[in-house]
Amino acid sequence: MHHQWLLLAACFWVLFMFMVASKFITLTFKDPDAYSAKQDFLFLTAVPDVGRSPGETHFPEELKPTGKMLVEPLVYTQRLELMRNVCREDALRNLSHTAISKFVLDRIFVCDKHKILFCQTPKVGNTQWKKVLIVLNGAFPSIEEIPENVVHDHEKNGLPRLSSFSDAEIQRRLKTYFKFFIVRDPFERLISAFKDKFVHNPRFEPWYKHEIAPGIIRKYRRNRTETRGIQFEDFVRYLGDPNHRWLDLQFGDHIIHWVTYVELCAPCEITYSVVGHHETLEDDAPYILREAGIDHLVSYPTIPLGITAYNRTKVERYFLGISKRDIRRLYARFEGDFKLFGYQKPEFLLN
C-alpha cells in the first residue's frame, strides 16, 4: 500500500513538471512581433531587466522601467517636454513638422463617449489599443468577444476616424479630448513592418507581395540578376531615398506601416496628453488608462514577458551587410522620430 502511494505521488509530480515545462516553452517561442494576434484579458506585470548579457534584449537607458509597477509619472512629463523642445529646433523642422492633413486625421480614432483620441502608429501593438476603444465605444462587451477580422474593418468595428467630422468638430475634439499614441525604436519598427508585410503577411494581403514588393525591387535592387523576393536591403534603399514619394503615391495608404511617426500623428502640431513607449508598455498601458479615466472600465490585454523590449541583436543582424551610406540615408529620414521620442542613434552608425 505504501509503495502504491509513492507511485501515485511520483506520477502527479511528473505531470506537474510537464505542465510547467509546456507553459515555459509556449512563452519562450512566441513571435515578439506577433503578440497582438490573440491575448488573454488579464492584469499586467512589470518586466525586471535581470540577467541579460550585453548585446541582448535591453531597454534604452531613458526608457527603462523603474522596477515598480509603474514608471514614475515624471517620465511622461519629460517625454512631452523633450518632444516640445525638439519641435522648436529649426534645424529639424522639416523632420518634425507636418500639416494636419486628411492623411493624419485618418490615423486618429475617436471615442466620443469617453473623450479620447488615439493616433494609430502601425507595428507598435496598435491592434490591442483599437480593441480597447472598440469596447469603450460599446460595439462589443469585452475584448475577448471581438473577432480578429473585425478589428481592422472600419465599417464594422465602431471606431470613427477624426476625418469623418466637420472642421469645427475636429478642432473641438483636438482641443478638449485626451490624446495619445505609442512609439517604439524607429529602426526596430521598420524591421517589424518588413517581416509582417513582406515575409509573414499574417492577414493574407497579396498586394504587398505582388504589387508593392516588385515596385521596390525594380527601382532599388542593385543586382539585377538576383531573383529572390524583396530583401530588407531593398526596403532600406526605398525608405532612405529622398525621392521615395513618387512610389509612396503609387502604394497609397499601405505606406502607413513604415512612414514616420511625424507623418502619421503630427506630434508638433497636435498637443498630445501622453506618448507611450512600446519598450515600457507594461508600465505605460495602465498609466494611459488611468490618465484617460477608463482604468475601471477596461484593461489592456496581457503582454507576454519581455516581448516589447528593444532587441539590439535583432536590429544589428538585419542591418548587417547593408552599406553605411544606405543606413545613413535611412537615419536621415527618421532622425526626427529618433530625437522627438528620445531614442539613441544606433551604435553601428557611430563607428
282-310, pLDDT tens digit by residue? Answer: 999 999 999 999 999 998 988 888 888 89
Please report the pLDDT score of residue 125 as a whole number: 87
* Average pLDDT score over the chain: 82
Specify the higher pLDDT residue, 3 or 242.
Answer: 242
225 pLDDT tier (thresholds 50, 70, 90)? confident
Tell whether the model's pLDDT for residue 34 goes beyond 50.
Answer: no
Q: Tell me, what's the pLDDT at 29?
A: 33
More confident position, 61 or 326: 326
Residue 150 has a pLDDT of 86
Of 101-115, 223-237, 258-272, 319-333, the range with the lowest mean pLDDT is: 223-237
CA torsion 178→184→189→195, rounded to 10°?
-90
β pairing state of 108-111 and 274-277:
unpaired
Question: pLDDT at position 80, please?
Answer: 97
Q: In angstroms, how far is the first alpha carbon of the chain from the final one? A: 72
Set of cell numbers at residue 2: 505504501
What is the per-residue pLDDT for 340? Answer: 98
From 108-112, 156-160, 339-343, the region with the lowest mean pLDDT:
156-160
Residue 38: the pLDDT is 39
Q: What is the pLDDT of residue 50?
A: 35
pLDDT confidence tier of residue 118, bands split at 50, 70 and 90 = very high
Residue 8 pLDDT level (bands cut at 50, 70, 90): low
pLDDT recorded at residue 174: 98
CA–CA dist 185, 55 (Å, integer):
16
Return the SS3 of 150: helix
Bridge partners, 118 (sequence order) = 109, 180
pTM higher than 0.75, yes or no?
yes
Q: How far is CA 10 from the centre of its chain?
A: 46
Q: How high is the pLDDT of residue 113? A: 94
Quote the CA–CA distance of 252 and 254 in Å, as a whole number.
5
The pLDDT value given to residue 3: 53
pLDDT of 12 = 52
Please name the amino acid found at residue 138.
G
The pLDDT of residue 63 is 43
Grid cell, residue 26, equals 509556449
The mean per-residue pLDDT over the stretch 157-181 comes to 96
Any long-range contacts for 314-323 (C-beta under 8 Å, 24+ apart)?
Answer: 314/188, 314/191, 315/185, 315/187, 315/188, 315/191, 315/346, 316/55, 316/346, 316/348, 318/191, 318/232, 319/187, 319/236, 319/346, 319/348, 321/233, 322/232, 322/233, 322/236
pLDDT for the residue numbered 67: 36
Q: What share of the chain is helix, strand, coil (3-state, %, to 5)?
A: 55, 5, 40
- Residue 284's pLDDT is 96
C-alpha cell at 42: 488579464
Q: 110-114, 184-188, 222-226, 248-252: which range is least confident on average?
A: 222-226
pLDDT at 154: 78
Q: Give 141's DSSP letter.
A: S
* Greatest distance between any 2 Cα atoms in the chain: 85
More confident call, 16 vs 56:
16
Query: Measured between alpha carbons, how far is 105 from 234 in angstroms, rounded to an integer?
Result: 30
Spatial separation of the C-alpha atoms in residues 295 and 303, rounded to whole Å: 17
Q: What is the pLDDT of residue 18?
A: 47
Closest CA to 275 of 97, 115, 77, 112: 77
Residue 17: is its pLDDT beyond 80? no
pLDDT band for position 326 (50/70/90)? very high
